[in-house]
Amino acid sequence: LALTLSHKGHPDIYSIDLSGEIIDRVTTHWGIDVSPTFSPDGSKIAFVSNRSGSPQIYVRDLRKGSEERLTFEGNYNTSPSWSSADRIVFSSMNNGRFDIFTIASDGRNLRRLTEQQGNNEDPCWSPDGRYIAFSSSRDGGYHVYIMNASGRNQRRITFLKGEQTSPSWSPF
């Protein structure tokens, strides 16, 4: 299990066992490291860090101990979610709005999936990697939408009273 822990200064990523004992301090940087998400095979963790001056997406290879910055665009990148096809979806603020992007885990093939449609946040992959659920303010308040992994067929699926955010898929 990976989590963010503010234990020795700035928040870092730690791994813990199911009894809550710390196994390893995964990141040790002066910046704020948050929002860990494991790769499908468990060998890497994507996370958000402000070590470059603004929140960006990084990947740490747990076997090699190396870290790589994935995002260089956007002044606030957050909410990474790793797909079974080894792509990472995340929200990025550009021009004062959040939009959803995907990127390969090696930093290639950055794709913008939403644009000029309110704020689009909290993306998460379906278990089979075919769909992305996300919250959006494009129709006023926040509601949950889904789209194909390509960004096509975006449609609202919640019509409830109040704000609907932070969707999460159950296993199929």
pLDDT in tens, 59-90: 999 999 999 999 999 999 999 999 999 999 99
61 shares its domain with 8: yes
Q: In the predicted model, what is the mean pLDDT of residues 115-121?
A: 94
Cα angle: 156, vertex 161, 162; to 5 degrees:
95
Q: What pTM, to 2 d.p., does this model score?
A: 0.94
Among 69, 85, 116, where does a domain finish?
Answer: 69
CATH number of 94's domain: 2.120.10.30
Those residues whose C-beta lies under 8 Å from the C-beta of residue 15, and which sit 6 or more positions away, are 1, 2, 22, 23, 24, 26
Q: Give the model's confidence band at 171: pLDDT under 50 very low, under 70 low, under 90 confident, else very high.
A: confident
Residue owning tokens 């644009």: 115
Phi and psi (nearest 5°) for 30?
A: -70, -20
Residue owning tokens 């999460």: 168
What local confidence, expressed as pLDDT, does residue 101 receive? 98
